Structure 1
Amino acid sequence: MAVSLGGDSTGPMSEINVTPLVDVMLVLLIIFMITAPLMSHSVTIDLPIANPNAKTPDLKTPPLDLAIKVDGSMYLNDQPVTDAELRAKLLVEAQLTPQPQLQIRADREVQFMVVKKIISDAKGSGMVHVAFMTTDAPKG
């Protein structure tokens, strides 16, 4: 602790000695200045050139629309399906390239356990893209 060297006050000084702090900061600055260029090592690769005149095939597949009513009945693309039929169709659709998106439209009153079971069936069959269809919030 530093002690006052003169004047009327004989008590300890209340100032902080910043010299050690400056020394540590300078050492850290030097370390970062040395290591920063080493961290920006880049790998050079030759990227392909895009041809804007080339026609790209339309690989978009139509989505699968699954509607779930309050009573638990399910409709895949407006056709009634059972649980077993749904799993079988999801297995077939999961093998397609590109894979279609499964869009789930569940009634507001449907219990979440029903939707959760369908999501787990879709995941188990290999479906990757699952979406939920909703309506806009009422304005007012």
Structure 2
Amino acid sequence: MSARRKGAGLVPEMNVTPLVDVVLVLLIIFMVVTPQLEAGAAVELPAAAHADKGEDNSLTPTTVSLTAKGALFLDRQELPREQLVEKLRGIHAKDGQARVVLKADRAARYADVRAVFKTLQDIGFPGISLQVVEPPKQ
């Protein structure tokens, strides 16, 4: 009993296993959910050396995506070209200052990208943005 009185009692230890389990579950959840948050279809974007960072605009732009195979998407919905143009005209009629972002796969034909860009210009959208990624650092 004299050992207890001198402070040699039990020393509490922290069990970090439950904390690590919770952190790993949260990490997995974020890894699964994050790719789904991106607007538009999943395309491999081309790299640009000095890409404009864009404006911090609170308005969510409409995203038009062009895949390598030539499929067109309005946000995440695949549409034939005629329906896409019709929906874009409706968006422009509702809001003449609506922002549009064009995401084209790096393997898409330039003629296809330019045709979609021209269609957006013809509809009358002001300032169409092309989405690109930063090239890898060397």
Contact 1:67 1:74 in 2 (8 A): yes
Query: RMSD in angstroms over aligned alpha carbons?
Result: 1.8
Unaligned runs of 5+ in 2: 1-56
| Correspondence 1:71-82 to 2 at 5 A | 71-82=69-80
CA contact (8 A) 1:68 1:106 kept: yes
Q: Which residue of 2 aligns with 1:123?
A: 121
What is the identity, as a one-letter code, of the residue corresponding to 1:121?
T
Q: Distance in 2 between matches of 1:136 and 1:100?
A: 26
1-structure distance, mates of 2:115, 2:108: 12
Is the contact made by 2:100 and 2:129 (CA closer than 8 Å) also made in structure 1? yes
Aligned to 1:110: 108
**Higher share of residues assigned helix:** 2
How many angstroms does 1:94 deviate by? 1.3
Q: After the TM superposition, list the runs of 4 or more consecutive aligned residues in structure 1 that deviate by more than 4 angstroms.
A: none
Whether contact under 8 Å (2:61, 2:100) holds in the other structure is yes
The structure that has the greater radius of gyration is 1
Q: Give the C-alpha shift of residue 60 in structure 1.
A: 4.9
Is the 8 Å Cα contact of residues 66 and 103 (structure 2) preserved in structure 1?
yes
Whether the aligned pair in 1 keeps the contact of 2:96 and 2:125 (CA below 8 Å) is no
Higher relative contact order (CA 8 A, sep 6+): 2
Structure 1: tracts of 5 or more residues without a match = 1-58
Q: State how far apart, in whole Å, the 1-side matches of 2:60 and 2:88 are.
A: 14
Q: Residue 99 of structure 2 corresponds to which residue in structure 1?
A: 101
- Report 1:1-140 matches (<5 A): 60-97=58-95, 99-140=97-138
Given that 2:102 and 2:117 are in contact with CA atoms closer than 8 Å, whether structure 1 keeps it comes out as no
Number of aligned residue pairs: give it. Answer: 82
AA aligned to 1:131 is S
* Identical pairs, percent: 18
